[in-house]
């Protein structure tokens, strides 16, 4: 196993067979085993060579939980009648950003369901206002699948980055997680379109989603290699009580941190968050993520009333160090493990795109 880890570190590549062997082996290893310690140490060394011990922060603004899609795993799926729906108006979004900028955030992430209210024109107005007010800040969107023209318009309006997880790179697995109105091919096309439009692009997947196999995870790694995204977000699947997957088990924290480390070795310059889902499943989840090679944390800047309603899965964290207003707490927690929160924009070192200013 050590030789596969070294091969990945040295060549940033493995074959599908090798991925399966390595992931299979890790799934039966403890996270304090010597192979795990070795993997994490290699990932930290690679991350340190690129980004030092900095942890970038992003202020997450959850702009709407209205969604036309019906993904089987997601708490804000269209057919969940128990979800209390909300949408932030542009002025409310501006207020969140103002608060966030005062707190020291220099990246804002507008994330939401696929809500038709947020047309290209509405978003263009929001983007250009935010970019004019906060010239020193980056703007990230995470608003699902849109047309190439739409992505281009949002990019031209000044948005810098876009997050769109592929969720799983296997066709039949994709169709077990989504209704047949949604296609993996479309999702992949959107990701390539985002890159073409000049966005720093983020993708990723859930770890331990229902029906996921080791082969699927190997395929996720191969797809990420092909896409070569600037950002990769992965987190454990966590069931939501009002979805078809209510009774499925959560993904494991251990497998998530192993995969974070492997992604760091495969894409050394990538920006990898220690996600909220990781923090939700384990008190020390974010720290574990950082110690496995992650270098981003995305505290919540949404208004209190929105936070409760943006429930993608059960028990989603939105207080404590997860809350943007408790940045001091997060800083202390990172310092304790030898890392420092920084307020830089934190663009990807690998970006081919010129940041919008
Ligand atoms: N558990 C974990 N992550 C989830 N997401 C959606 N539902 C869940 C869930 N039940 C993730 C998806 C999506 C991101 C915004 O949240 O990967 O892309």
Tell me which residue has its CA closest to atom 7 in ligand 1. Answer: 74
| Per-residue CA distances from 332 to 109, 249, 287, 298, 328 (Å) | 23, 32, 11, 16, 6
pLDDT at 357: 43
| Per-residue CA distances from 173 to 76, 158, 219, 260 (Å) | 21, 35, 11, 21
Cα–Cα distance measured from residue 354 to residue 357, given in angstroms and rounded to the nearest whole number = 9
Distance from residue 312's CA to the centre of ligand 1 (Å): 6
Our answer on whether the CB atom of 73 is closer than 6 Å to any ligand 1 atom is yes
- The confidence band for 224, taking pLDDT boundaries of 50, 70 and 90, is very high
Within-domain flag for 23? no
Within-domain flag for 312? yes
pLDDT at 12: 98
pLDDT at 145: 98
Q: What angle do CA 42, 44, 47 make, to 5 degrees?
A: 110
State the Rg of the chain over Cα. Answer: 19
Within-domain flag for 179? yes
pLDDT at 351: 62
Within-domain flag for 150? yes
Average pLDDT over the chain, rounded to an integer: 95
- pLDDT tens for 37-57 read 999 999 999 999 999 999 999
Q: In 3D, which of 54, 57, 120, 116 has the Cα closest to residue 85?
A: 116
Helix then strand then coil, in percent of the chain rounded to 5, is 45, 15, 40
Distance from residue 110's CA to the centre of ligand 1 (Å): 16
Task: Tell me which of 60, 62, 73 to substitute to probe ligand 1's pocket, judged by most ligand atoms within 8 Å of the beta carbon.
Answer: 73
Cα–Cα distance measured from residue 266 to residue 263, given in angstroms and rounded to the nearest whole number = 5
Our answer on whether the CB atom of 262 is closer than 6 Å to any ligand 1 atom is no
- pLDDT tens for 101-129 read 999 999 999 999 999 999 999 999 999 99
Residue 319 has pLDDT above 80, yes or no: no
Q: What is the CATH number of the domain that holds 208?
A: 3.20.20.70
Within-domain flag for 174? yes
Our answer on whether the CB atom of 134 is closer than 6 Å to any ligand 1 atom is no
Cα–Cα distance measured from residue 230 to residue 340, given in angstroms and rounded to the nearest whole number = 21
> Count of domains in the chain?
1
Tell me which residue range forms the domain holding 83.
39-342
Cα–Cα distance measured from residue 190 to residue 357, given in angstroms and rounded to the nearest whole number = 24
Cβ atoms of residues 325 and 303 within 8 Å: no
Q: What angle do CA 283, 286, 292 make, to 5 degrees?
A: 125
pLDDT at 59: 97
Within-domain flag for 2? no
- Percent of the chain past pLDDT 70, that is, above it, reads 98
Mean pLDDT of 241-251: 97
pLDDT at 193: 98
- pLDDT tens for 288-318 read 999 999 999 999 999 989 998 999 999 888 8
Within-domain flag for 353? no
Our answer on whether the CB atom of 310 is closer than 6 Å to any ligand 1 atom is no
Q: What angle do CA 190, 191, 193 make, to 5 degrees?
A: 60
Please report which helix (H) or strand (E) contains residue 207, including its range: strand 200-207
Q: Which residues pair with 231 in a beta bridge?
A: 202, 271
Our answer on whether the CB atom of 221 is closer than 6 Å to any ligand 1 atom is no
Cβ atoms of residues 203 and 267 within 8 Å: no
pLDDT at 195: 98
Our answer on whether the CB atom of 322 is closer than 6 Å to any ligand 1 atom is no
pLDDT at 32: 86
- pLDDT tens for 129-148 read 999 999 999 999 999 999 99
Kindly give the residue spans of alpha helices, DSSP state H, lying in the chain. 2-11, 16-27, 34-51, 90-103, 120-133, 148-156, 171-177, 184-196, 214-227, 253-266, 276-281, 285-291, 304-309, 327-336
Q: Which residues pair with 233 in a beta bridge?
A: 204
pLDDT at 352: 52
Within-domain flag for 56? yes
């Amino acid at each position: 196993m050590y030789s596969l880890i070294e091969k990945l570190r040295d060549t940033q590549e493995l074959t599908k067979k090798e991925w399966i062997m390595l992931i299979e082996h890790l799934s039966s290893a403890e996270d304090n085993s010597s192979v795990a310690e070795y993997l994490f140490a290699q990932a930290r060394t690679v991350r340190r060579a690129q980004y030092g011990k900095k942890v970038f922060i992003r202020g997450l603004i959850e702009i709407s939980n209205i969604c036309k899609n019906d993904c089987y795993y997601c708490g804000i799926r269209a057919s969940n009648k128990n979800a209390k729906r909300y949408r932030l108006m542009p002025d409310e979004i501006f207020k969140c950003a103002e608060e966030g900028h005062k707190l020291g955030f220099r990246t804002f992430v507008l994330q939401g369901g696929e809500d038709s209210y947020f047309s290209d024109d509405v978003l263009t107005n929001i983007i250009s206002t935010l970019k004019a007010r906060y010239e020193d800040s980056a703007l990230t969107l995470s608003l699902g699948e849109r047309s190439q023209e739409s992505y281009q318009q949002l990019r031209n309006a000044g948005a810098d980055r876009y997050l769109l997880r592929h969720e799983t790179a296997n066709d039949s697995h994709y169709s077990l997680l989504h209704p047949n109105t949604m296609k993996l091919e479309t999702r992949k096309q959107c990701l390539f379109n985002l890159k073409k439009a000049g966005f720093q692009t983020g993708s990723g997947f859930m770890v331990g989603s229902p029906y996921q196999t080791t082969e699927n995870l190997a395929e996720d790694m191969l797809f990420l290699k092909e896409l070569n995204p600037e950002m990769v977000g992965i987190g454990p699947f966590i069931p939501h009580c009002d979805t078809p997957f209510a009774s499925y088990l959560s993904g494991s924290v251990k497998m998530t941190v192993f995969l974070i480390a492997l992604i760091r070795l495969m894409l050394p310059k990538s920006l990898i968050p220690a996600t909220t889902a990781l923090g939700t499943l384990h008190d020390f989840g974010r720290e574990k993520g950082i110690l496995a090679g992650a270098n981003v944390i995305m505290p919540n800047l949404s208004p209190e009333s929105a936070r409760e309603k943006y429930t993608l899965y059960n028990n989603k964290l939105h207080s404590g160090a997860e809350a943007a207003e408790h940045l001091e707490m997060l800083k202390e927690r990172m310092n304790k493990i030898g890392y420092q929160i920084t307020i830089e924009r934190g663009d990807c070192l690998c970006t081919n795109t010129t940041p919008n200013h």
